[in-house]
Amino acid sequence: MHITLKATGNNAGMISHLLAKNPYNTYDRTEKGARVRMVYTVFTEEEAEIVIQASPDSIDLVKNSPDSYDITQYINDREFVTSSLFCTYIRGTLGTALNGKPKEDYIAWVTHPFALELSFGPVASDLPDAVVEGLFAPLGYQVTIERGEADYSFQLKNRSTVRYVTLSGHQTVQYALRQLLLLIPVLDNYKHYYISEEEFDKLRRYGEGWLSAHPLRELIIRRTLHFTNLIEQFEQSDSAATRTKKHAIQEQKHNHEQDQQQEQSLEEGTQQPTVRLNELRYQAIMDVIRKLPRRQKIVDFGSGEGKLSARLARMKGIEEIWAVEPSAYAQVRAVERFAKLERHADAIRPTPMMGSLFYYDEQLRGKDVMILCEVIEHVDEHRLNRVMNTIVTEYQPGMLIVTTPNREYNEVYRMDQQELRHGDHRFEWSRSEFRERCEQWIEEAPYSLALEGIGEEVEGFGQPTQMAVFTRRKEPKNS
């Protein structure tokens, strides 16, 4: 993980005084458990290039983690990508430049715009290239985005989230570094620490002079603060915020990603209960199952932490629930949740099962109901037809219930046209695209199809979630 800062033109060498780092010495320190190095690869009065690199300890990154039982904690990109972690490591190194407080003889250069080139990476971002460019171009930068060389038999490289970004333009060193330290975490969209009101000060200090007029201000604030209540508090306390922004913040309450984070906070007792989209999905699925004459045997595919399975466990008429999930971490959370059901005399205990849509399991064949709640969008689109064929021809459930995001509704959330609601989504379909695919899946299978929406409906955009209910018809006996 690194940043390269290059200045050219008359007096380019003055940036060494703004950084307060001697160009003839190598800066090598340990910051928050990571080794941070700064070196001048070029230094003259007309050109100066500085590379800032951070190397965290991969073991230290997961030490004392609650996921110590799960080997996948060691398989992550935090050691390599330029992220909020990286910004934390280098913040102390750049303190003089960020605060604009060099030695008195050089104060005048703090407000001097240099011809700068800033490059950083690799950065893993779920934002499309157009949005990445939209974050930096309004600040006066020419943006270049590159991906690493790779030889694939299909267009995986073009869809890779990992990119290297280069910015070119005239800017003061202080503003350039503040913009990077605020926007790099926006790109990565992952915070390694607890998000609280302390982030307000960072937004104000690093965003001073440019954030209030930025066309993607709402996106920057949303991906910095994440939680709706924090976003609202920031807007209310920020004297520069306008009243017209508040309606957009209210709409963001329905954002899929925020909904998941709010749900976690609710479990920890930090939020007041509200009717969330995730809860509406569960309720819609349960309403469908409750009306079935046969609902004894249920398969919850991609059950995650077992939230839906735990709700179904208390429904009358259900005798067994298979909670199928490939993630060991999610399975452990599900087991803990299922154990709590013992206090309810009317509840059965779901059976957690390690499994995947890509591997057929005879045990799951012929059940009354199979559920894929917010699952298919996490599957590569070119593999999905095979998965669905296995379900309708091999598993043959009496009913199949599938929910997935409605891409048209993303515009209600003020999302970019190419932006997806979650970093792991491989696709999101419009209502017509979803209907077309559903009809294809059962073209030669004995199933009928019913489609409906879940969540608040907006004219022209539908509802945030779409649900397909496939009901197996009785096949006529051969004469």
Q: What is the pLDDT of residues 137-179, one digit of tens each?
A: 999 999 999 886 666 555 544 556 788 899 999 999 999 999 9
Residue 352 placed within a domain: yes
Phi, psi of 399 (to 5 degrees): -145, 140
The dihedral region occupied by 303, where left means phi > 0, alpha psi between -120 and 50, and beta the remainder, is alpha
- 298 or 260, greater pLDDT: 298
Q: What is the pLDDT of residues 395-436, one digit of tens each?
A: 999 999 999 999 999 988 888 777 888 878 889 999 999 999
**pTM score, whole prediction:** 0.50
Contacts of 4 (CB under 8 A, 6+ apart): 49, 50, 51, 52, 117, 118, 119, 120
Pairwise CA distance, residues 316 & 307, whole Å:
17
Can you tell me whether residue 429 is helix, strand or coil? Answer: strand
Beta bridge partners of 116: 7, 169
Residue 211 placed within a domain: no
Same domain, 152 and 30: yes
Residue 221 placed within a domain: no
Q: How confident is the model at residue 61 (pLDDT cuts 50, 70, 90)?
A: low
Same domain, 16 and 159: yes
pLDDT of residue 78: 54
Which among 193, 212, 229 is the end of a domain?
193
Residue 161 placed within a domain: yes
pLDDT of residue 460: 93
Pairwise CA distance, residues 262 & 278, whole Å:
10
- DSSP letters for 436-476: HHHHHHTTTSSEEEEEEEES--BTTTB-SEEEEEEEEPPPP
Which among 175, 193, 211 is the end of a domain?
193
Residue 229 placed within a domain: no
Same domain, 282 and 189: no
Segment (H or E) for 399: strand 399-405
Which of 6-15, 214-223, 250-259, 389-398 is least confident?
A: 250-259
pLDDT of residue 240: 41
Pairwise CA distance, residues 477 & 458, whole Å:
45
Average per-residue pLDDT for the chain: 83
Range of the domain at 127: 2-193
122: cis peptide before it, omega within 30°?
A: yes
* Structural domains counted in the chain: 2
Q: Is the pLDDT of residue 322 over 80?
A: yes
Contact 378, 327 (CB under 8 A): no
- In this structure, what CATH number is given to the domain that contains residue 108? 3.30.1610.20
Q: Which long-range contacts (CB under 8 A, 24 or more apart) does 344-350 make?
A: 344/314, 346/314, 346/316, 347/313, 347/314, 348/313, 348/318, 348/319, 348/320, 348/321, 349/313, 350/300, 350/303, 350/306, 350/309, 350/310, 350/312, 350/313, 350/321, 350/322, 350/323
Residue 240 placed within a domain: no
- Please choose, from the candidates 469, 429, 454, the residue with its C-alpha nearest in 3D space to the C-alpha of residue 254: 454
Q: How confident is the model at residue 248 (pLDDT cuts 50, 70, 90)?
A: very low
Which among 193, 220, 242 is the end of a domain?
193
Contact 175, 116 (CB under 8 A): no
Contact 83, 184 (CB under 8 A): yes
Q: How confident is the model at residue 66 (pLDDT cuts 50, 70, 90)?
A: low
Burial 321-344 (b: 16+ CB within 10 A, else e): bbbbbebebbbbebeebbeebeee
Same domain, 168 and 311: no
- DSSP letters for 68-126: TT-GGGGS-STTTS-SHHHHHHHHTTTHHHHHT---GGGGGGGGPPEEEEEEEEEEE-S
Contact 373, 285 (CB under 8 A): yes
Segment (H or E) for 421: none
Residue 113 placed within a domain: yes
Contact 25, 49 (CB under 8 A): no
Q: Which long-range contacts (CB under 8 A, 24 or more apart) does 425-432 make?
A: 425/377, 425/378, 426/377, 426/378, 426/379, 426/380, 426/381, 427/377, 427/381, 428/377, 428/404, 429/404, 429/405, 429/466, 430/406, 431/406, 431/462, 431/466
Can you tell me whether residue 6 is helix, strand or coil? Answer: strand
Same domain, 175 and 284: no
Q: How confident is the model at residue 260 (pLDDT cuts 50, 70, 90)?
A: very low
Q: Is the pLDDT of residue 70 over 60?
A: no
Q: How confident is the model at residue 64 (pLDDT cuts 50, 70, 90)?
A: low
To 10 degrees, the CA torsion angle through 356, 362, 367, 370? 10
Pairwise CA distance, residues 189 & 260, whole Å:
14
- In this structure, what CATH number is given to the domain that contains residue 403? 3.40.50.150
Pairwise CA distance, residues 257 & 262, whole Å:
9
User: Which strands, in side-by-side order, build the sheet including 27-31?
Assistant: 27-31, 34-43, 47-56, 2-8, 114-124, 162-171, 142-146
Residue 264 placed within a domain: no
Pairwise CA distance, residues 305 & 316, whole Å:
22
pLDDT of residue 151: 60
Pairwise CA distance, residues 406 & 420, whole Å:
11
Beta bridge partners of 144: 166
Same domain, 7 and 119: yes
* CA Rg value for the chain: 26
